[in-house]
Amino acid sequence: MAQHLRKQLVVVGHGMVGHRFVESAISRGLTETYDITVVGEERRPAYDRVALTSYFEVGADALSLLPGGRYDDPRVTLRLGSEVVAVSPRQRIVTLASGEDLHYDELVLATGAAPFVPPVPGADLANVFVYRTIEDLDAIRDASRKGRVGAVIGGGLLGLEAANALHQLGVETHVVELAPRLMAVQIDDLGGKTLSQHINRLGLTIHTGAMTEAILGDRKGRVDRLALKDRNPLEVDLVVFSAGIRPRDALARAAGLDVADRGGVLVDGSLQTSEEHIWAIGECAAVDGRMYGLVAPGYDMAEIVVDRLLGGGASFTGADMSTKLKLLGVDVASFGDAHGETEGALELTYQDAVSGIYKKLVISEDGKRLLGGVLVGDAAAYGLLRPMVSSGMELPDNPEELILPSARGGADMELPDDMQVCSCNDVTKADIKQAAADGTTTRAGSTCGSCRTVVKKIVEDYFASQGVVVDRSLCEHFRMTRQELFDVVAVHGYSRFDDIVEAHGSGRGCDICKPAVASILASLLNQHVLAPGNRQLQDTNDAYLGNLQKNGTYSVVPRIPGGEITPDKLIVIGQVAQDFGLYTKITGGQRIDLFGARMEDLPAIWKRLVDAGMESGHAYGKSLRTVKSCVGSTWCRYGVQDSVGLAIELELRYRGLRSPHKLKGGVSGCARECAEARSKDFGIIATEKGWNLYVCGNGGAIPAHAQLLAGDLSKDDLVRYLDRFLMYYIRTADRLQRTSYWLDAVDGGLDRVREIVIDDALGLGAELEAAMERHVASYFDEWRATIEDPEKLARFVSFVNAPGTPDPNITFREERGQIQAGTLDGPVALGSTIAVGAPR
């Protein structure tokens, strides 16, 4: 009996859309009949180009859509770093640059698009780049180390993303846009003006209505000027073209496939090309002559071709071109008929010039349907508004409530079940409710993330409708939120966990509520974390005032306010590291970490540092870590304010401040932002008039840019508002909730925080300031307090019946001239104190 031969499917291109096609082919069973070979020109697997700007913060691995570099299905072969140079439709063969031929039964072209570089003289000079791949960003970063000023040609979506990248690198950035406003395709004149105001405040310079005539170079062939028509030239060191994209259709053209007049492989609604067994998806495809340059339509195309190959009849009928993103920390969204081109369309607008917020709704002539809109500065309503356009649901009687701030109204509408909530992955409200009922998952919110707030509400509302209470309790021992528990402790004046749990909880507590209560008590009373009654509440790090490492040792991190340190203190740190055999490393927070300290050595190490005038850096606690700074006006020729002095003042003011999660700050002396202040929980950037205060940013796995709370502040106003902000966060945030997630959870978002902190809408300003003054007045160094207290010192031994005996299970190895953590031998519980010979 002849063996049945499996069909061969070749995918050319492994970008986001090509990867989505393969994922869908695997999940829907196409690999039961097809072997799939994916040929990717780049040497890395597919990665998230939508989040490309975050590469400098999170790295390539965090952007990867296929971190392992291979698919779990063995019937899929991924060939990276390979280029297809020819397609032979009659023979059904693709030829690789290596000369190898691959046979196919079906061919999917997912070659994407390439950056458009206008025919500008000088585009071939050194330090002229495009913005498309990780390699492009690496090249831009290398050039930025020598270049001080850069220009981005293009003020659309991609251009502003590129400008953000330059800004992150500390380059003085110009944005040159031919149109009269930024993002001319997506937003209107007032939206463009509002966006420009935001970006100008960050120190970028916008040139709209400007035509680039030439890029001029020096004698070495490197960029030194950008010539603009009827304007003075810009002195620049590097140029980035980000003026749109063009479909990569060269393979199709050479193979004789039909292409659209404006480029792109011509396909019909089935995504089939003019050749029966060749399909095109994503940015290289032109459906009935139109190219779609967003990821969501590409994902739709991928799903449709998989359906067709499985014998289905799905068809591409158009795409939602709505867009929501954060550009240079500014929320911008555009959806539906954003420009009001529908006959008889009416417009509703809301503008707050002080806060930099602009919102517009385009509604039908009869006032019953939402047709589109623009949101700049506050796009929180996007998740609700965009689906209303596609569903055609009727507007409320007062549609203006949809764009008013929550404190002045704001509609709470019930969405119909058939409404598409996630356009990236075509997920409806009904799909989300069904997944909640079945305990399954959808892809909703996993691509651009703009619908996550709505998805969360749908899930919570579903469970509530089923009689299931969405439990927001701290834990089984306290049937209240952390905020409610904070208020209870503050009102009753408790100082002991036992009293709190007896009066308002149950049981003996757990690893969730004990550290939470300890944090609340520390925030309110500023007690020593090792004080009687507190000690048993702490986790391992707080319990020993140091971070536990993987081999059972601890790290020691002295505070270095603002990153400024004297030579004498540096010498002491070096001597301590030598004497105790510690590993040393300079951190991203401008401090020096000392690793490998044994528990019994910690007090002696602290004493040496304290005697030299240093103190605990609280690297072990949920508290203020650092306030990072650049050198500012004291040394830098670009600095406009003393950033080091302010950073030191703030770090010393807020040191030891216990909070729901760790806190980090930053102060930059000018708009070049070398201290990376906008990646911090609070960031301050100097202006000619004073200081701009940004809040609720963070780095880490899911970075968030801090947002502007107030601008051009005096130092006194800055400190006052920052006192209020920090204390308001400490009072109201959930357990282990970073400021960025807390802001997302605040009803009304940044507007509401601004009302409370700046406008004092609740009359809490004096109370919050007084709470901070109590903290400042009661601060003490935990290291000094510990080494001066024999009772606290008694806990720093590895073996209670042999205090001088080091733990033999701790091992080290050597690398690059320093110790490294070895493997912890034996079953000793980390962070515990045991007796020699005792049962383990």
Q: Is the pLDDT of residue 393 over 50?
A: yes
pLDDT at 279 over 70: yes
- Residue 832 above 60 pLDDT? no
Mean pLDDT of 168-195: 92
Looking at mean pLDDT, say which of 14-18, 154-158, 295-299 comes out highest: 14-18
The confidence score (pLDDT) of residue 411 equals: 45
- What gap in Å lies between CA 379 and CA 358, rounded to an integer? 9
| pLDDT computed for residue 834 by the predictor | 40
The tokens of 91 are what?
């023979």
Of all residues in the chain, the percent with pLDDT exceeding 90 is 56
User: Each residue of 413-462: pLDDT tens digit?
Assistant: 567 787 778 877 878 888 888 888 888 888 887 776 667 767 877 887 88
pLDDT at 526 over 90: no
Which pair of structure tokens corresponds to residue 419? 């409404």
3-state DSSP of 692-744 = EEEECCECCCCCECCEEEEEEECHHHHHHHHHHHHHHHHHHCCCCCCHHHHHH
Mean pLDDT over 210-222 rounds to: 92
Of the two residues 638 and 85, the one the predictor is more confident about is 85
pLDDT of residue 837: 39
Query: Does residue 541 surpass a pLDDT of 70?
Result: no
3-state secondary structure of 458: helix
CA 445 to CA 754: how far, in whole Å?
28
pLDDT in tens, 107-148: 999 999 999 999 999 999 999 999 999 999 999 999 988 878
Name the residue among 54, 109, 110, 44 with its Cα closest to residue 295. Answer: 110
Q: Are 119 and 142 in contact (CB under 8 A)?
A: no
3-state secondary structure of 387: helix
Q: Are 810 and 598 in contact (CB under 8 A)?
A: yes
Q: Is the pLDDT of residue 830 over 60?
A: no
Contact 102, 37 (CB under 8 A): yes
Query: Which tokens go with 43?
Result: 């040497």
Give yes or no for residue 833 having a pLDDT over 50. Answer: no
Q: Mean of the pLDDT values across residues 185-189?
A: 91
The confidence score (pLDDT) of residue 680 equals 94
> Which stretch of 572-576, 730-734, 832-836 has the lowest confidence by average pLDDT?
832-836
Model confidence at 705, in pLDDT bands (50, 70, 90)? confident
Cα Rg, the chain, nearest whole Å: 30
Are 373 and 359 in contact, with CB atoms under 8 Å apart?
yes
pLDDT for 839 beyond 50: no
714 sits in the region (left: phi over 0; alpha: psi -120 to 50; else beta) called beta
Tell me what pLDDT residue 152 has. 96
**558 DSSP 8-state letter:** B
**Amino acid 18: pLDDT:** 97
- Beta carbons of 334 and 322 less than 8 angstroms apart: yes
At residue 410 the predicted structure's pLDDT band, cuts being 50, 70 and 90, is very low
Mean pLDDT rounded to a whole number for the chain? 87
What residues are paired with 129 via a beta bridge? Answer: 240
Amino acid at the residue 436: A
- pLDDT(780) > 70: yes
pLDDT band with cut points at 50, 70 and 90 for residue 1: very low
Which residue do the tokens 């502003």 mark? 160
pLDDT at 327 over 80: no
Using the predicted structure, report yes or no on whether residue 535 has a pLDDT greater than 70.
no
Tokens of 144: 């930025």
CA distance 652 to 630: 17
Encoded tokens for 520: 């609340």
Measured CA to CA, the distance from residue 163 to residue 199 in angstroms comes to 10
Please tell me whether residue 753 adopts helix, strand or coil conformation: helix
Instruction: Output the pLDDT for position 211.
Output: 94
In this prediction, residue 371 carries a pLDDT of 94
Confidence grade of residue 200 (pLDDT, cut at 50, 70, 90):
confident
In eight-state DSSP terms, residue 47 is B
How far is Cα 640 from Cα 631, in angstroms, rounded to an integer?
11
At residue 536 the predicted structure's pLDDT band, cuts being 50, 70 and 90, is low
pLDDT, residue 828, reads 40
Q: 3-state secondary structure string, 184-229?
A: CCCCCHHHHHHHHHHHHHCCCEEEECCCEEEEEECCCCEEEEEEEC
